[in-house]
Amino acid sequence: VVLGFVPHYNYKEAAVDLPAGSRLLLYSDGITEALNGDAEEFGDAALQKLLLEHRSLSSQELLEKIVAAVKVHAGATPQSDDMTIVVITRE
């Protein structure tokens, strides 16, 4: 759901307890739907693989790895969607 797009939308509130060391990744679909020259998406599996392979990195380092991987995947292919990503680690 796009926040603020639908007037008077009834958003549901929830709370989640994240233990120390937990990581929260917020991203737009422009990350996983980034296309390469063959019109192949970067995909959820590639993002999950990166998260598992680099889980010991800091939030900043992980963010940089993800951005670099998406750029390599996309190459010079123009993208039509925004790409937003935030990595938060609970101390």
**Structural domain total, the chain:** 1
When comparing pLDDT for 17 and 12, which is higher? 17
**How much of the chain exceeds pLDDT 90, in percent?**
85
pLDDT at res. 1: 57
What DSSP element (H or E) covers 29? helix 29-32
pLDDT, tens digit (0-9, with 9 covering 90-100), for 77-90: 999 999 999 999 99
14 domain residue, yes or no: no
10 domain residue, yes or no: no
pLDDT at res. 7: 84
28 domain residue, yes or no: yes
pLDDT, tens digit (0-9, with 9 covering 90-100), for 23-62: 999 999 999 999 999 999 999 999 999 999 999 999 999 9
The whole-model pTM stands at 0.86
The structure tokens 């039509």 sit at 80
Domain that residue 51 falls in: 23-89
Separation of alpha carbons 37 and 76, rounded Å: 8
36 domain residue, yes or no: yes
Q: Which residues pair with 25 in a beta bridge?
A: 87
